[in-house]
Amino acid sequence: MARYLFEDARYLAPGDDGLAELRRGWIAVEGDRIVALLDGPPEGSAFAGFERIDASRRAVSPGLVNAHTHTILLVLRGTVEDIEGNLVYQYMVPASYLLEPQERAAIARLGCLEAIRSGTTTLVDPLRHVADYAPAMIDSGLRLYLCESAADALTREVGRSGYRFDREWGETFLARSRALIERFHGAADDRVRVMVAAHAPDNCSPWMLAELNRLARDKGLRRTIHLSQIVSEVEQVRTLHGKTSTEYLRDNDWLADDLLAVHWTFCTEADVEILAHHGVHFAHCPASMSAKGPHRLPIKAILESGVNITLGTDNMTEDLFHAMKLALVVHRGAYGRSVTPGPRQVLDYATANAAKALGRDDLGRIAVGMKADLALFDLEAPALAPRLSLVSNLVHYGHPGVVTDVLVDGRFLLRDGRATTLDERQVVAEAQAATEAMWARFERQEGGVPLPQRDTV
């Protein structure tokens, strides 16, 4: 059993207002838990068996929680950010199918490596063929919430010929979801859990939504869905059902406090009121949604509704520092040139709020009894100096280069700047090979859509 005593650390713990504030002290970790927080050096031999780690030049934070990502869509990095079109159905869906199983695993390892280097300890990852890459992600040591993103519309056809629903197609997703639950829910000493995921309101019929609800309730699992993400979704739901996506989910019993709904781009203020009333959690992905300009969504209504806000990276990056910076910009933009929300609220999005959205009272905070999911930052890193407010520096200027150590369940995944569970050179090389192979197939099979610019040397 691992036993560590982080000596003379600056650490972020909840203040009187519930938001993180900087304290100084000694943090004792035993096994997978924080077992003591001391104001000064321990007396006597109480921690004699603990490895002592000098943390006087480091700051300790709860590990960051990425509430929505698709690790294998890193295969699209540096491409679709600069292409017009329906990115979901013309690029993301085809790419997820064109990857071979071992290639999915290779890209997923890269995503896990980047997440660890960004101070992240938990990923929520819904997509397709998740069982192909779940073992690779588990081996990284991260805490995981995995989901097979289900639909009964033939998603491979939408980008070419529009929507066609097929119950047999939907059954394949239900079968994959059940298999994922049986194989991985509670795996790795409960470090891995499975959620139930509907891909989006436009490609899930009332039958599919009901089947997924039944599965979630039978297994006691939380749920997630993309919501009001793209124009074609909004138009399809309006055409088929005469409703907004939010109204469609409400009328199919999909809105509750176990639901983590992502994006909300085209939600109306009335939709936000409905979502808040039902206690739905919001996963905002401001970085991916702002690649072509600041993410436009009813953020003022969301901020003032009391909805629990979390952050995700979505695709093309696992860097939550990037997401925090852009969240600050987009959310403050709701009030013009504002200082609301503040950095402490935004850090909460990526820690305590995310833990709440996952139904976890043992994550997202530094306190006795909490899981030892921690990120350590170099207080002498240029980006964090000079320092008056560590939280302000982290949210405004933090980047993966300031992260020195990451622990999950008390196990180091990054120690003194070195990954302990992944061979970094091998991970990068295998991900590059997988990406080149996928794009070669894409160019052969996905005619009629613009192709990305590529380096020629």
Same domain (yes/no): 55, 69: no
Instruction: Give the C-alpha separation, 315 to 313, whole Å.
Output: 6
CB 215 within 8 A of CB 249: no
3-state SS class at 291: strand
> Which residues have a Cβ under 8 Å from the Cβ of 258 and sit 6 or more positions away?
216, 222, 223, 359
Same domain (yes/no): 175, 49: no
- The residue whose two tokens read 């399809």 is 236
Same domain (yes/no): 125, 159: yes
Same domain (yes/no): 35, 158: no
Give the domain CATH number at 236: 3.20.20.140
Same domain (yes/no): 78, 28: no
For residue range 315-344, list pLDDT tens digits in order. 999 999 999 999 999 999 999 889 999 999
For residue range 154-171, list pLDDT tens digits in order. 988 887 778 899 999 999
For residue range 368-395, list pLDDT tens digits in order. 999 999 999 999 999 999 999 999 999 9
Same domain (yes/no): 113, 46: no
For residue 444, tell me if it sits in a domain: no
For residue 422, tell me if it sits in a domain: no
Give the domain CATH number at 395: 2.30.40.10
> Which residues have a Cβ under 8 Å from the Cβ of 124 and sit 6 or more positions away?
65, 66, 67, 68, 69, 145, 147, 195, 224, 260, 283, 312, 358
38-to-46, 51, 156, 368 alpha-carbon distances in Å: 12, 16, 56, 10
Same domain (yes/no): 217, 270: yes
Instruction: Give the C-alpha separation, 332 to 139, whole Å.
Output: 39
Supply the pLDDT for residue 399: 98
Angle between helices 320-333 and 390-397 (to 10 degrees): 90
Supply the pLDDT for residue 366: 98
Least confident of 42-56, 318-332, 352-366: 42-56
Beta bridge partners of 33: 30, 371
What b/e sequence results for 54-69 when a residue is b if at least 16 CB atoms lie within 10 Å of its CB, and e otherwise?
Answer: ebeebbbbbbbbbbbb
The domain containing residue 166 runs over which residues?
64-357
pLDDT greater than 90 at residue 274: yes
Final residue before a domain boundary, out of 357, 389, 405:
357
Instruction: Give the C-alpha separation, 85 to 166, whole Å.
Output: 25
Residue type for 440, please? A
> Which residues have a Cβ under 8 Å from the Cβ of 382 and sit 6 or more positions away?
none
> Which residues have a Cβ under 8 Å from the Cβ of 217 and sit 6 or more positions away?
none
CB 50 within 8 A of CB 35: no
Residue type for 393, please? N
User: How many separate domains does the chain show?
Assistant: 2
Q: How far apart are the first and last CA of the chain?
A: 49
Determine how β-strand 33-38 pairs with β-strand 51-54. unpaired
Beta bridge partners of 413: none
For residue 436, tell me if it sits in a domain: no
Supply the pLDDT for residue 287: 94
Torsion, Cα of 379, 382, 387, 392 (10° steps) = -90
353 phi/psi in degrees, rounded to 5: -65, -40
Provide the 10 A C-beta neighbour count for residue 88.
22
For residue 42, tell me if it sits in a domain: yes
pLDDT greater than 90 at residue 412: yes
CB 170 within 8 A of CB 199: no
Which of 26-35, 81-90, 155-164 is the most confident on average? Answer: 26-35
For residue 435, tell me if it sits in a domain: no
- The residue whose two tokens read 């009901």 is 210
Supply the pLDDT for residue 205: 97
Same domain (yes/no): 267, 161: yes
Supply the pLDDT for residue 303: 97
Supply the pLDDT for residue 44: 82
For residue range 184-236, list pLDDT tens digits in order. 999 999 999 999 999 999 999 999 999 999 999 999 999 999 999 999 999 99
For residue range 110-146, list pLDDT tens digits in order. 999 999 999 999 999 999 999 999 999 999 999 999 9
Same domain (yes/no): 171, 274: yes
Final residue before a domain boundary, out of 357, 385, 406:
357
For residue 263, tell me if it sits in a domain: yes
Same domain (yes/no): 352, 410: no
Same domain (yes/no): 211, 347: yes
Final residue before a domain boundary, out of 338, 357, 376:
357
Residue type for 367, please? A
Same domain (yes/no): 341, 372: no
Supply the pLDDT for residue 337: 85
Mean pLDDT of 57-69: 98
